Amino acid sequence: MPKTLLANADKMQTLPLTNRFVLAYPQRFRLVHLTLLLYAGLAFLTRLALLVRIWPQIGHGPYTLGAIFGLGLFYDLVSGLYVVIPLVLYLLLVPCRLVQSRWHRAVLYPFFFAFIYALGFLAVAEWLFWDEFGVRFNFIAVDYLVYTHEVVGNITESYPIPRLLTAIGIASVVVFLLIRSSLDQIGTREQQAVRDNARSANRFIAALAFLTLPLLAFFTVSSPTGAAANTNRYETELAENGLYQLFAAFRGNALDYRTFYLNINDQQALAGLHPLLTQGNSRFLGQQPQDLTRLVTATGPEQRPNVVLIMVESLSAEYLGTFGNQEGLTPNLDRLASQGLLFKNFYATGTRTVRGMEAVTLSEPPTPGQAIVRRPDNDHLFSMGFLFRQHGYDTKFLYGGYGYFDNMNAFFGGNGFKTIDRSDLASDEITFANIWGVCDEDLFRRATKEFDASHVQGKPFLGYLMTTSNHRPFTYPDGKVDIPSHTGRFGGVKYTDYAINRFIEGARQHPWFKNTIFIIVADHCAGSAGSQELPVHRYHIPLIFYAPGLITPGVNTKLASQIDVVPTLLGLLHWRYETKLFGQDILRPDFTPRAFISTYERLGYLRNGYLTVLNERRSMNQYRIKEETMQDSVLEKVPEQPELVREAVCYYQGASLANTRRLNRWDH
């Protein structure tokens, strides 16, 4: 052994234990410390920026702020331990002679610059994501990674991406120059090289420690969301780490109801569900709790008009004049509401398009995790498509975008619909398009052609249309409305209102118009942000049935849900049919006013002025709705209302069982 090594070894034996540890610790692993510091520092700045952004909506006391930043730092460090795993492995394997070489510097410089740039990009992405959804990364962000074409296109059309990327690059250069001297100092001293050669086992021990910590965190650390159910939701979101939440969402794409939520015996849940599903004109055909099949009868003669269901992207009730909006955004929808049947106390089940599709098409409450539209094995379910096809209808789903997005084509194609999307439109049928799809006018023109074809064949038709124009980047043909394209949500709403009116006015010229019911309903609200667990006002949407000569105009104020659309329609048509739908006919006098609202993890049940929230920690919270406007809702936490909790559990556990056991399958 060289004399220098022997001298250092003898010297270490005479030092105190703590000093020996410092000398034995491989200095190359200070690169890990630097990486963690950079990561935690930028995460802190991101959290601080978001906090300043929503300062009026959170508490300002030392306990609240301490919890936000203390818990936030913990999750930043936990996620940082995952981030440094590749670096730890590299430092374990790279020989000492290379640590001191110029080659190593040529590796470190690009690595750290790219890392700093990635952190800056992540911070900007979190800011933009919060701008859209009012939360840190979640299931939606996972979708964004899957559907890169639509999402990247939407982002590039909505934001000044070149300028943002340039700004991130400039900031990254500045930060890199500030830390370069630290990079040069690590692992370049001869003493360190000698120590690394003498104590190569130390590298393994240090690496093992850094690799063990994230492994322990994987099994012991859960998301802060579940731990803070009683706090202001913004405060909970601020305490989270965006990258950690992104991977937690990817890992927890679906949640087993019995594992994570309040539950009772399955047979009891299904038995308790039976009286919640029945109305005076329906009865169960089987005796077993798991048999959801009921027979619905009617007194009048069965009607078979055409049905056109227009699901409008992000149409919050607050944008309509009939709900008090003073901006004049929806003159045509307001007129249709006054001439049709308006449901004014109507709620979306979730915050994504697929959740609204699930609720209307299958008439089911939301279940934890992804919507059924996006799950595997989601075909041949009891759907409106099969029901109408059974009654001789030509059933078509039309979407202005590409139907592979969110699995729409597979879902609707497997549940009784012929699917038509952007790829089916000829070039001369497209006058305007953005990354999400063709403009609403183009969609409606193609729909009119499809309905003409069905009419010529002598078949009634069900047309299910999904619009796209009221979506960021809010671009549409010029000269249609008095708000220029690409200027914001108000323009998207006004153009959609214009396009729907053009469609219906054009339909008046076709022979099938007088025997057609038009249903206009939103998929969800324009935003889901709020300080509560479930901000009730963020789920309030319009529902309009419009059919001159077929439906008596009026206003219905009963509390109702998207799952009630189809049963209400079939009640108007006086159909006699077998059903497994969870919804009820809103227009019947024995209708039970209630609604379902949810996120991917929180399941809400609105009933009798109370909100019951089931969360993924097998617990619940209940609130009295003290006040609700289009812009806000005030909730007051109350003691448990056992009957409402039981109803919520029966509905949600029953819906989960229906899907896992295929109790909602189409058997005809």
Domain CATH for 403: 3.40.720.10
Are 327 and 230 within one domain? no
| Nearest residue to 309 (alpha-carbon basis) of 451, 190, 169 | 451
What was the pLDDT predicted at 617? 77
In a shared domain, residues 406 and 534: yes
- Beta-carbon contacts of 30 under 8 Å, excluding residues fewer than 6 positions away, are 186
Helix (H, G, I), strand (E, B) or coil at 219: helix
Give the number of other CB atoms < 10 A from CB of residue 495: 25
State whether 59 and 156 are in the same domain.
Answer: yes
Residue 506 lies in a domain: yes
Residue 642 resides in a domain: no
Exposed / middle / buried, residue 394 (Cβ in 10 Å: 0-12, 13-18, 19+)? buried
Question: Is residue 240 located within the same domain as residue 305?
Answer: no
Residue 338, in any domain of the structure: yes
Task: Say whether the peptide bond before residue 473 is cis (omega within 30 degrees of 0).
Answer: yes
Assigned token pair, 355: 């959740």
Distance CA 365, CA 604 (A): 10
Residue 662 maps to a domain:
no
Domain finish residue from 545, 567, 584: 584
Q: What ranges make up the beta strands (E) of 416-489? A: 418-420, 433-434, 437-438, 461-466
**76/170 same-domain check:** yes
Note whether 246 and 297 are same-domain residues: no
Question: Mind spelling out the 3-state secondary structure of 580-630?
Answer: CCCCCCCCCCCCCCCEEEECCCCEEEEECCEEEEEECCCEEEEEEEEEECC
Same domain, 443 and 308: yes
At residue 21, the pLDDT reads 44
Report the alpha-carbon distance of residue 298 to residue 319 in Å, rounded.
36
Q: How far apart are CA 158 and CA 152, in angstroms?
A: 10
Say whether both 355 and 242 belong to one domain: no
Query: In whole angstroms, what is the distance from residue 169 CA to residue 120 CA?
Result: 8
| pLDDT given at position 237 | 86
pLDDT on residue 601 = 83
- Separation of alpha carbons 322 and 338, rounded Å: 8
Q: What's the token pair of residue 205? A: 């021990």
Q: What pLDDT is attached to residue 120?
A: 93
Instruction: Give residue 144's pLDDT.
Output: 65
Q: How far apart are CA 223 and CA 579, in angstroms?
A: 39
For 349: left if phi > 0, alpha if psi spans -120 to 50, otherwise beta; the answer is: alpha
What token pair was written down for 77?
């460090």
The two tokens of residue 177 are 């120059």
Q: Which domain holds residue 345?
A: 293-584
Question: How far is Cα 272 from Cα 255, in angstroms, rounded to an integer?
Answer: 22
98 and 156 part of one domain: yes
Residue 333 CA to residue 195 CA, distance in Å, equals: 77
Distance CA 71, CA 222 (A): 12
C-alpha to C-alpha distance for 298 and 575, rounded to whole angstroms: 6
136 falls within a domain: yes
pTM: 0.79
Does residue 451 fall inside a structural domain? yes
Residue 627 has a CB neighbour count (10 Å cut-off) of 11
355 and 468 co-located in one domain: yes
Q: Is position 352 within any domain? A: yes
Total domains present in the chain: 2
Residues 88, 157, single domain; the answer is yes
Separation between Cα atoms, residue 544 and residue 158, nearest integer Å: 31
Where a domain ends, among 568, 584, 600?
584
Cα four-point dihedral sign 427, 432, 436, 441: negative
Query: How many residues in the chain?
Result: 668
Out of 199, 217, 251, pick the residue that ends a domain.
251
**504, 546 Cβ separation under 8 angstroms:** yes
Q: In this structure, is residue 620 part of a structural domain?
A: no
For the chain, the first-to-last Cα distance in angstroms comes to 84
Tell me which residue of 661, 636, 668 sits closest to 383, measured CA to CA.
668
Q: What angle do CA 469, 472, 477 make, to 5 degrees?
A: 40
The whole-number mean pLDDT for each consecutive block of 10 residues of the chain, a chain of 668 residues, reads 42 47 69 94 94 89 91 93 93 79 81 93 88 73 63 75 91 93 66 49 87 88 54 82 77 69 96 97 94 95 97 97 97 98 98 96 94 92 98 98 94 98 97 96 98 98 98 95 96 98 98 98 86 91 97 98 98 97 98 95 95 90 94 92 97 96 90
Does residue 297 share a domain with residue 167?
Answer: no
pLDDT at 555: 98
